[in-house]
Amino acid sequence: MPWQEVVVYSIIAATSMALIASLITRKFVLRRMNRTIMKAEHNYQQQIATLQMQLSGKVTVLESIVNKLRLSNQELTRLNEIRSKFMSIVAHDLRQPLTSIQGFASVLMMDNPQGDGANDQIALNNILKATDNMNMLMADLMDISMIESGRFKMEAQAFNFNTLINDVVTLQAVNAQKRGIFLQKYDYPTEVTVVADRFRISQVLSNLIGNAVKFAPQGGRVEVGFYEEPDQIVCRVSDNGPGILHTEKEKIFQKFHQSENDRNLRKQGWGLGLSIAQEIVHAHGGTMSVESAGLGQGAVFWFTLPKNPVPGAIARVTVEDKK
pTM: 0.60
106 lies in the same domain as 173? no
Please give the pLDDT value at position 256: 65
- The DSSP element (H or E) to which 227 belongs, if any, is strand 221-228
Q: Which residues contact 94 (CB under 8 A, 6 or more apart)?
A: 134, 138
For residues 72-95, b (16+ Cβ closer than 10 Å) or e, as one string? eeeeeeeeeeeebeebbeebeebb
pLDDT confidence bin for 265, thresholds 50/70/90: very low
126 lies in the same domain as 174? no
Measured CA distances, 174 to 83, 171, 205, 235, 288 (Å)? 36, 6, 15, 21, 26
* In the predicted structure, residue 321 carries a pLDDT above the cut 50: no
Looking only at the bridges linking them, the beta strands covering 193-196 and 232-239 are: unpaired
In terms of Cα–Cα distance, which of 278, 223, 286 is closest to 251? 278
Which domain, by its residues, includes 127? 1-149
pLDDT in tens, 283-310: 888 999 998 877 778 899 999 999 876 6
Please give the pLDDT value at position 161: 93
Mean pLDDT score across all residues of the chain: 77
Longest dimension (CA), the chain: 159
Which of 102, 118, 149 lies at the terminal end of a domain, its last residue? 149
Which of 91, 115, 149 lies at the terminal end of a domain, its last residue? 149
6 lies in the same domain as 46? yes
* In the predicted structure, residue 264 carries a pLDDT above the cut 60: no
Burial (Cβ within 10 Å: 0-12, 13-18, ≥19) of residue 147: buried
pLDDT in tens, 45-93: 888 888 888 888 888 888 888 888 888 887 777 766 666 666 666 666 6
176 lies in the same domain as 313? yes
Has residue 323 been placed in a domain?
Answer: no
Residues of the chain with pLDDT > 70, as a percent, come to 66
Provide the domain count of the chain. 2
Please give the pLDDT value at position 165: 93
Which of 104, 131, 149 lies at the terminal end of a domain, its last residue? 149
